[in-house]
Amino acid sequence: MANLDDLPIRESLKGRVPYGAPQLHVPVALNVNENTHGIPEVVAMDIITRLAAEVLTINRYPDREFVELRDALAKYLGHDLSREQIWAANGSNEVIQQILQAFGGPGRKALGFGPTYSMYRIISDGTDTEYVDAGRDERYELSVETAVAAIKQHSPDIILLCSPNNPTGTPLSLEVIEAVYSATSGVVVVDEAYAEFAYPDTPSAITLLEGRERLMVSRTMSKAFAFAGARVGYLAADPAVIDALRLVRLPYHLSAFTQAAALAALSHSELMLSAVADIRVQRDRIIAELIEMHLDPYRSDSNFVLFGGVDSPKDVWQQLLESGVLVRDVGIDGTLRVTAGTEAETTQFLDTLREVLKG
Ligand SMILES: *Cc1c(COP(=O)(O)O)cnc(C)c1O
């Protein structure tokens, strides 16, 4: 058997490593920010019914423009959005990849503010877009000054703003997004993967779309919506942006099954989001109890918490795993990240961590 180095792979991909959060089967999996609550049975039944109907016409290609799904997503997002302003793909990762394909590429530059979502660099590499990591302020906050200075310094074609930021949980104010938009002639992507977990009066960057044709807001059904396995991400932007993405998407990229399942889930959106309030409570409980353990959690507007003060993250990660609790070592010194699970899972994490720290 050959290995990767024996192949005539593109120069820019040599030595790169793929996305690799461990997929381990453990009783308490709190490592990739999924919604760990199962989906309600009535929704499950409705999905099955719609999938069954699709089987009968599966010899045909699906609606390439997924019109019904775009209508449903527009309705879900509100803000008077219409079908023409909505796009979707197999996860928001694919949406972001399409954006990089259309607006990035050889000779072009994407700018992110790390530590941030690891896929930004991986998708940049895959599309031969140069990726620049501009860093953040104290405690991973991002100020107007820091963001604008990085844009002046690097003149990026694409700016990737993760709001709230993964893996740190840090909220991002609309003020920063507006300043970034004004400071660039490139496109600005606001990744709102965790938007539904934000406090109720937190405005979405969707409110900034009007009159800003280079602004794009991506969302996903993978997190709050408890639909990670179905692979549905989406985007709100000017209709011209959607036209740009049509140039690079593969025909019929959203399968008939994906469209049907997403439509069924969206028709029950309130039910699908019913665990969000409890997840927020568990997140705040994690922060409070970690402080009691003399650890250093960062503020979080999402369904996960990054915490510092861990002397040996690798050892603590391993010991938690041996007790059946999987969290994430995101590679930031002295920290681990944990997803807020159900009340029982969260209790198990906190109790096990207390034991581990006692040594
Ligand atoms: C999980 C996540 C995504 C979503 O990925 P999908 O491809 O939609 O499952 C996007 N951005 C961030 C920051 C995430 O954490």
Q: What is the pLDDT of residues 196-242, one digit of tens each?
A: 999 888 999 999 999 999 999 999 999 999 999 999 999 999 999 99
Torsion sign (Cα): 281, 282, 287, 288: positive
* pLDDT in the model for residue 56: 97
Q: Is the CB of 166 under 6 A from ligand 1?
A: yes
Question: How remote is the CA of residue 358 from the centroid of ligand 1, in Å?
Answer: 34
Highest CATH level, class, for 23-38+275-358 = alpha beta
From the CA of 221, give the closest atom in ligand 1.
8
- Determine the pLDDT at residue 175: 98
Assess whether the C-beta atom of 238 lies below 6 angstroms from ligand 1. no
Distance between CA 341 and CA 280 in Å, rounded? 10
Mean pLDDT within 85-104? 98
CA of 94 to the centre of ligand 1 (A): 10
CATH number of 41-271: 3.40.640.10
**Whether the CB of 93 sits within 6 Å of ligand 1:** yes
Distance in Å, CA 161 to ligand 1 centroid? 13
Q: How high is the pLDDT of residue 17?
A: 86
- pLDDT confidence tier of residue 264, bands split at 50, 70 and 90: very high
Q: How far apart are CA 278 and CA 282, in angstroms?
A: 6
Ligand 1 near 92 CB (within 6 A): yes
What confidence tier does 107 reach under pLDDT thresholds 50, 70, 90? very high
Residue from 161, 191, 231 to probe ligand 1 pocket by mutation (most atoms less than 8 Å from CB): 191
Question: Whose CA is closest to 100, among 224, 235, 255?
Answer: 235
Can you tell me which atom of ligand 1 is nearest the CA of 116?
13
Residue in this structure with the two tokens 């920290």, named with its chain if needed:
335
**pLDDT recorded at residue 15:** 86
DSSP of 269-302: HHHHTTTHHHHHHHHHHHHHHHHHTT-EEPP-SS
Residue 353: the pLDDT is 98
Pocket test for ligand 1, best of 140, 189, 220, 231 (most atoms within 8 A of CB): 220
Q: How many A from CA of 30 to the centre of ligand 1?
A: 15
Closest atom of ligand 1 relative to the 96 alpha carbon: 10
What amino acid is encoded at 171 in this protein? Answer: P
pLDDT value of position 129: 98
β-pairing verdict for 233-237 and 86-89: antiparallel
The response to whether residue 171 sits with its C-beta less than 6 Å from ligand 1 reads: no
117, 189, 225, 231: which to mutate for ligand 1, most atoms within 8 A of CB? 117
203 CA → ligand 1 middle, Å: 20
Distance (Å) from CA 299 to ligand 1 centroid = 19
Topology match between the domains 23-38+275-358 and 41-271: no
Instruction: With a cut of 80, say whether residue 21 has pLDDT above it.
Output: no
CA dist 82 → 76, 78, 90 (Å): 11, 9, 21
Q: Which residues contact 348 (CB under 8 A, 6 or more apart)?
A: 27, 28, 324, 325
Q: What's the pLDDT score for residue 200? A: 80
d(CA 110, CA 103): 9
**pLDDT on residue 19:** 86
Per-domain boundaries in the chain: 23-38+275-358, 41-271
Q: Give the DSSP per-residue string, 98-151.
A: HHHHHH-STT-EEEE-SS--THHHHHHHHTT-EEEE----GGG---HHHHHHHH
From 36, 119, 197, give the residue whose CB has the most ligand 1 atoms within 8 Å, as the site to mutate.
119
Q: What is the mean pLDDT of residues 127-133?
A: 98
Q: Is 327 in the pocket of ligand 1 (CB under 6 A)?
A: no
Residues paired with residue 217 on neighbouring β-strands, in sequence order: 190, 236
Band of residue 12 on the pLDDT scale cut at 50, 70, 90:
confident
Tell me how far CA of residue 312 lies from CA of 98, 169, 173, 215, in angstroms.
Answer: 38, 21, 33, 41
Q: Mean pLDDT of all residues in the chain?
A: 97
R_g (Cα) of the chain, nearest Å = 21
Cα 315 to Cα 132: distance, rounded to the nearest angstrom? 31
Give the DSSP letter string of 190-218: EE-TTGGGS-TTPPPGGGG-TT-TTEEEE
Contacts of residue 247, Cβ cutoff 8 Å, sequence gap at least 6: 102
> pLDDT at position 122, please?
95
pLDDT of residue 92: 98
* Ligand 1 pocket, mutate which of 34, 93, 172 (most atoms under 8 A from CB): 93
Question: How remote is the CA of residue 294 from the centroid of ligand 1, in Å?
Answer: 30
